[in-house]
């Protein structure tokens, strides 16, 4: 088993609080608009923050930071490849060459005291040597997840000495980081939680710069992790319940309901709509145990049977994915796939029959009337708990477990799938996530179909009731309650 060891931290600018999650104290920083006037102190010594790239994270983060720093002396500048097709979009969002807030990426890197490197993982792997060479001595390099560390580890390479290396990793897709930040203007504290890591600290200011960055993005609360813990849980989570897992779950459930005789729209309501609507909303507000408690006795019986059948699949596949990630296989796969993309572009995933049915079904949907199908709830919770228990086994901090397994799903990804379908959700994530989701969704589908559903339907065999008992008593429920306390409950807004 790998040792995940997350250190204490000290901040001179923000107020550190402690939360106790399953008996473990974690230091966190609670965010909010009222803290924005502390950002200049957090960014002391930083005149310019360069945000490199214009993918979903880069566009959201550059705008949030600019808005949070409005009126201060810290300038947010976007850096793009020369001739980038994204220049128009950046200009439309208010970053322009005229006022010096849009420029060529290597010039922006060289001109910035803090560089947030939010280009694709493949580009980070390909360009990291040039980027490292362009950074000023004493600059702070910021990442939004740990992929580059995993890649460097494999290559036997390292970050350059003489710079800070930090990470702030929002636990949600870029679109949510922006949308919930805008909602935060009305409801102070609405936003996407983030983890932060300090990998190198030569300035002595790395922690406060990271926390300033996170507060500036609008994170309701920010918890400590390490780059390694982050990429292990992040790459695993998006391949499992967050993207790949949920996609495989709903495909297999839709097919199951169709085989049981439901019409297309009904089957869609009981699978996709149920997961992305009532299940996600309930879990966001009341946790996993709240979902269970909403069911009547007959519903709980069905939930328990489905849960007992699906949990082993979630546990097995999350372990497999975790092994593939920590062995470096998954990172190598992403790099290899990137090299094939010009010849074999990623295909569409929403031309298959369920998603065509979903397009129709979403049109005349009444959210209040959506069914809370107990079988679907049991399968979804079973796979999710398989991921949670895998992360616990590997020693990840509870904040990371809760955010990377539950809150990112209910507060960011699933609402997008609810509004726009799976393709929109999956394909607005990073290329690394898109590839991972395409790779693992079918595995979840097959294992559920081959082993979980036949077990659940086998009425001759008593199912394993210890699993649902373990679920009822699981420490994750208290952890989710504590996390829920740290962010206001808002109806997630999808633009």
Q: For residues 86 and 219, what is the distance between their CA atoms, to the nearest angstrom?
A: 26
Q: Which of residues 344, 364, 462, 473 is near a second copy by CB under 8 A?
A: 344
For the stretch 347-358, what's the b/e string if a residue is b when 16 or more beta carbons lie within 10 angstroms of its beta carbon?
eebbeeebbebb
Q: With 0-12 CB in 10 A as exposed, 13-18 as middle and 19+ as buried, what is 70?
A: exposed
Least Cβ distance, residue 326 to a second copy (angstroms):
9
Joined tokens for residue 357: 């049915």
C-beta closer to a second copy: residue 33 or 439 = 439
- Under rule CB under 8 A, residue 463 binds a second copy: no
Residue reference for tokens 């959700």: 425
Q: How many CA atoms does the CB half-sphere of 417 hold within 13 Å?
A: 33
Q: CA 158, 229, 180 angle in degrees (round to 5)?
A: 110
Q: Which of residues 272, 288, 337, 480 is near a second copy by CB under 8 A?
A: 337
Helix and strand counts by DSSP (H, E) for the chain = 25, 10
- Under rule CB under 8 A, residue 309 binds a second copy: no
Q: Which helix (H) or strand (E) element contains residue 394? A: none
C-beta closer to a second copy: residue 187 or 449 = 449
In whole angstroms, how far apart are CA 76 and each of 96, 212, 313, 439? Answer: 11, 13, 45, 36
Q: Which helix (H) or strand (E) element contains residue 254? A: helix 246-259
C-beta closer to a second copy: residue 74 or 310 = 310
Q: Which helix (H) or strand (E) element contains residue 102? A: strand 102-104
- Under rule CB under 8 A, residue 446 binds a second copy: yes
- Under rule CB under 8 A, residue 263 binds a second copy: no
Stretch that binds a second copy, among 74-82, 99-107, 303-311, 323-331 (CB under 8 A): 323-331
- Under rule CB under 8 A, residue 156 binds a second copy: no
Q: Which of residues 164, 199, 286, 324 is near a second copy by CB under 8 A?
A: 324
- Under rule CB under 8 A, residue 395 binds a second copy: no
CB of 240 closer than 8 Å to CB of 433: no
Stretch that binds a second copy, among 166-174, 181-189, 204-212, 346-354 (CB under 8 A): 346-354
C-beta closer to a second copy: residue 186 or 323 = 323
C-beta closer to a second copy: residue 275 or 447 = 447
- Under rule CB under 8 A, residue 327 binds a second copy: yes
393 DSSP 8-state letter: H
Stretch that binds a second copy, among 35-43, 193-201, 313-321, 360-368 (CB under 8 A): 313-321
Interaxial angle between packed helices 431-447 and 246-259, expressed in degrees from 0 to 180 and rounded to the nearest 10: 40
Q: For residues 385 and 383, what is the distance between their CA atoms, to the nearest angstrom?
A: 5
3-class state of residue 22 by DSSP? coil
Q: Supply the DSSP string of 48-102, one letter for each residue.
A: EEEEE--SHHHHHHHHHHHHHTTTSS-EEEEEE-TT-TTHHHHHHTT--TTTTSE
- Under rule CB under 8 A, residue 470 binds a second copy: no
- Under rule CB under 8 A, residue 52 binds a second copy: no
Least Cβ distance, residue 443 to a second copy (angstroms):
6
C-beta closer to a second copy: residue 133 or 336 = 336
- Under rule CB under 8 A, residue 319 binds a second copy: yes
CB atoms within 10 A of CB 465: 11
Joined tokens for residue 238: 């998006």
Of the candidates 34, 128, 145, 396, the residue annotated as catalytic is 145
Least Cβ distance, residue 311 to a second copy (angstroms):
12
- Under rule CB under 8 A, residue 34 binds a second copy: no
Q: Which of residues 8, 85, 347, 363 is near a second copy by CB under 8 A?
A: 347
CB atoms within 10 A of CB 494: 15
Residue 100 region, left (φ>0) first, then alpha (ψ -120 to 50), else beta?
left
Q: Which of residues 109, 206, 447, 479 is near a second copy by CB under 8 A?
A: 447
Stretch that binds a second copy, among 151-159, 163-171, 351-359, 388-396 (CB under 8 A): 351-359
> Does 270 participate in catalysis according to the annotation?
no
Tell whether 238 is in a known binding site.
Answer: yes
- Under rule CB under 8 A, residue 352 binds a second copy: yes
Q: For residues 95 and 92, what is the distance between their CA atoms, to the nearest angstrom?
A: 7
Number of residues that bind a second copy (CB under 8 A): 36
Q: Which of residues 158, 340, 469, 481 is near a second copy by CB under 8 A?
A: 340
Q: CA 219, 383, 214 angle in degrees (round to 5)?
A: 10
C-beta closer to a second copy: residue 135 or 448 = 448
CB atoms within 10 A of CB 454: 11
3-class state of residue 364 by DSSP? coil
Stretch that binds a second copy, among 267-275, 295-303, 345-353, 407-415 (CB under 8 A): 345-353
Q: Which of residues 351, 366, 369, 466 is near a second copy by CB under 8 A?
A: 351
- Under rule CB under 8 A, residue 265 binds a second copy: no
Residue reference for tokens 């074999």: 344
- Under rule CB under 8 A, residue 442 binds a second copy: yes
Report the catalytic residues.
145
Known binding-site positions: 234, 238
The residue ranges that bind a second copy (CB under 8 A) are 255, 259, 315-316, 319-320, 323-324, 327, 329, 332-333, 336-337, 340, 343-344, 347-349, 351-353, 438-439, 441-443, 445-447, 449-451, 453-454
Q: Which residues are annotated as a binding site for Mg(2+)?
A: 234, 238
């Amino acid at each position: 088993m790998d040792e995940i060891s997350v250190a204490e931290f000290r901040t001179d600018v923000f107020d550190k609080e402690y939360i106790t999650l399953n008996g473990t104290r974690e230091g966190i920083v609670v965010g909010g608009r009222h803290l924005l006037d502390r950002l200049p102190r957090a960014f002391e010594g930083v005149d310019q923050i360069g945000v490199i790239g214009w993918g979903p994270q880069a566009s959201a983060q550059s705008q949030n930071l600019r808005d949070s720093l409005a009126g201060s002396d810290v300038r947010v500048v976007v850096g793009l490849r020369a001739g980038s097709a994204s220049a128009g979009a950046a200009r439309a969002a208010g970053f322009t060459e005229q006022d010096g807030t849009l420029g060529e990426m290597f010039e922006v890197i060289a001109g910035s005291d803090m560089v947030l490197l939010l280009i694709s993982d493949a580009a980070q792997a390909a360009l990291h040597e040039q980027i490292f060479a362009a950074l000023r001595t004493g600059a702070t390099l910021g990442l939004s997840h740990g992929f580059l560390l995993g890649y460097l580890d494999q290559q036997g390479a390292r970050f350059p000495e003489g710079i800070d290396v930090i990470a702030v990793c929002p636990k949600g897709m870029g679109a949510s980081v922006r949308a919930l930040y805008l909602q935060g203007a009305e409801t102070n504290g609405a936003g996407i939680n983030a983890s932060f890591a300090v990998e190198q600290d030569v300035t002595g200011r790395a922690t406060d710069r990271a926390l300033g960055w996170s507060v500036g993005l609008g994170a309701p609360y920010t918890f400590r992790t390490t780059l390694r813990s982050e990429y292990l849980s992040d790459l695993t989570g998006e391949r499992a319940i967050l993207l790949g897992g949920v996609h495989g779950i709903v495909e297999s459930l839709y097919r199951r309901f169709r085989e049981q005789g439901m019409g297309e729209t009904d089957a869609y309501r009981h699978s996709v709509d149920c997961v992305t609507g009532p299940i996600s909303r309930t879990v966001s507000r009341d946790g996993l145990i709240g979902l269970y408690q909403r069911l009547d006795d007959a519903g709980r019986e069905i939930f328990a049977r489905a849960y007992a059948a699906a949990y082993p699949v979630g546990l097995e596949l999350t372990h497999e994915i975790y092994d593939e990630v920590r062995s470096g296989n998954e990172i190598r796969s992403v790099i290899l796939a990137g090299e094939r993309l010009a010849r074999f572009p990623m295909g569409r995933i929403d031309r298959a029959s369920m998603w065509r049915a979903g397009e129709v079904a979403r049109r005349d949907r009444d959210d209040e009337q959506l069914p809370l199908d107990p079988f679907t709830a049991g399968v979804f919770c079973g796979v999710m708990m398989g991921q949670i228990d895998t992360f616990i086994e590997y020693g990840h901090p509870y904040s990371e477990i809760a955010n990377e397994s539950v809150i990112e799903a209910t507060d960011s990804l699933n609402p997008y799938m609810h509004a726009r379908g799976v393709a929109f959700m999956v394909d607005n994530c990073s290329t690394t996530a898109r590839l991972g989701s395409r790779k693992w969704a079918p595995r979840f589908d097959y294992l559920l179909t081959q082993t979980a559903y036949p077990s659940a339907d086998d009425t001759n065999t008593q199912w394993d009731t210890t699993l649902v008992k373990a679920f009822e008593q699981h420490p994750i429920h208290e952890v989710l309650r504590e996390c829920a306390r740290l962010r206001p409950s808002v109806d997630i807004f999808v633009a």
